[in-house]
Structure 1
Amino acid sequence: MDTTDDPVSRAADLARELSSPVRVSIFRHLATEGPTRMRDLAEHLDLPEPLLSNHLRRLRDKHYIDVDRNGRTATYRITDPSIRDAVAALLTAVGAPRHDPEPAVDDNPGLTFARSCYDHVAGELGVRLLEGLLEDRALIRIPKGELEPGPAAEPSFAALGLGMTSVPSRRRLAFACSDWSHDRDHLGGALGAALMTGLISKRWVEPVEHSRRLHLTDAGREGLARYLAA
């Protein structure tokens, strides 16, 4: 963050950064979804990585966001909770639906068990589903965090409520999306979205009103028992 002593100057500087829709989108995503990898951020915001990289570099130079590196993986996060609050207030002021950050992990075990990450399943349920699909060879890891259908894709996904032919082709098919609550991955991309739609259509999970949390029904607990027992 700007380290000058004058709070008015600091506020003006942050306001300048919030004049860009791209940077507001970056802040909003990091505030609501937590630390995020570059590739996942580009996917969620539907932005080319070179453009996104320029904005991230600018925000890092101003110390509004920071990056944690683990090998070749870079994960971006907001440096100060007050920035998150400022972005939320700005969006609320123009009539956007309020999307407050969820309570801390320790205070919301339901959220860490099953929630939506945009349009796919995250939390422990999402992590275990991906691990099970990889073990079954329904999905195969390929370089750079991407995933592709494996030899068991058709029957495995059909049992979860989706047909491979119904998956839209206009977006990335599948990728490993970093899960902030478990330090592992869940399934993102078009397949991840179709999977969540399938689970909801089977009434194995139900969205919880005014929350990103997903409720696992009794039918879902039975239908997904082998994934949950992993």
Structure 2
Amino acid sequence: MKDGPDIARVASLVGDPARANMLTALMTGSALTASELALEGGVGLATASSHLAKLIEGGLLTVAAQGRHRYYGLAGPQVASMLEAIMGVAAGAGPKRARPGPREPAMREARVCYDHLAGEHAVKMLDGFLARDILVRDGGAIGLGPKGAAHFAAVGIDVGDPGPSRRPVCRDCLDWSVRRSHLAGRLGAAILDKILAEKWARREKDSRVVTFSPKGRVAFEKAFLA
């Protein structure tokens, strides 16, 4: 056996269709029960429980008990980024599982990727940050540029104090629909929180779609694209 991470084990966990559907359903960042995930996976509850146990053992899911219920969620943003990257490969490598529906244009425009914004708006935002030196690339990593902290402080986002989190401030996440990077990390999450708190956009029910209002789009562009 070769040294290094066991890629095959992780790939086998994601590769089962029912488990893949369950993981995709958790890309909203919400936690779901086993019954809800059984519906997403198209399997019975007993089969879903078996799949969930394997995903927890494999480090892809966490579970928390609340009263009589157990809620399952992705183990973290790194798992979400992996799934988003796999979606990008799948989108370009072969036929889709189903005929594209009316939600697809909206999904491509703006959506939630676990806890940050993805889609065309998010890719354009990251491009703008890099062009204006608000963020900079150092080798393969993204970090704050000389104008970064002041720019985000002006719109009410503090990037200085990470608190107990060891999560990086900025990180690339490969966008499956645009097939270029959008912004993840603590800053990406803070920007999505700002967008929703200001009611510039809303999250559609039972969907990853994020819909901007006309005024909200203007405010978003002024804060993060101008």
CA 1:216–1:57: 2 relative to 1, 3 Å: same
SS in 2 for 1:137: coil
User: Could you list the runs of 5+ residues in structure 1 that have no partner in the other structure?
Assistant: 1-49, 66-76
Contact 1:105–1:111 at 8 Å: present in 2 too? Answer: no
Q: 2:213 aligns with which of 214, 217, 220?
A: 217
SS in 1 for 2:160: helix
The offset of 1:105, in angstroms, is 6.1
Match of 2:159 in 1: 164
Match of 1:113 in 2: 109
Structure 2 distance, partners of 1:220, 1:177, is: 24
The offset of 1:109, in angstroms, is 0.5
Give the counterpart letter for 2:121 in structure 1. Answer: L
Identity over aligned pairs, percent: 29
Deviations 1:1-59 (A, max 9, x none): xxxxxxxxxxxxxxxxxxxxxxxxxxxxxxxxxxxxxxxxxxxxxxxxx5xx31x2346
Match of 1:84 in 2: 20
**Count of matched residue positions in the alignment of Structure 1 and Structure 2:** 161
Q: 2:144 aligns with which of 124, 140, 149?
A: 149
Report the TM-score, using the length of structure 2 for normalisation.
0.57
Match of 2:93 in 1: none
Match of 1:126 in 2: 122
Pairing of 1:43-122 with structure 2 (within 5 A): 53-54=5-6, 56-58=7-9, 64=12, 78=15, 81=17, 84=20, 88-89=41-42, 93-94=48-49, 107=102, 108-122=104-118
Structure 1 distance, partners of 2:175, 2:134, is: 20
User: Could you list the runs of 5+ residues in structure 2 that have no partner in the other structure?
Assistant: 24-40, 50-69, 75-86, 88-96
Contact 1:129–1:227 at 8 Å: present in 2 too? Answer: no
Structure 2 distance, partners of 1:57, 1:188, is: 26
Structure 2 distance, partners of 1:134, 1:104, is: 36
Match of 1:184 in 2: 180
CA 1:184–1:86: 2 relative to 1, 3 Å: closer
SS in 1 for 2:202: strand
The offset of 1:201, in angstroms, is 1.6
Deviations 1:181-201 (A, max 9, x none): 001100011111111111112
Contact 2:110–2:211 at 8 Å: present in 1 too? Answer: yes
SS in 2 for 1:131: helix
Structure 2 distance, partners of 1:131, 1:198, is: 19
Report the TM-score, using the length of structure 1 for normalisation.
0.56
SS in 2 for 1:198: helix
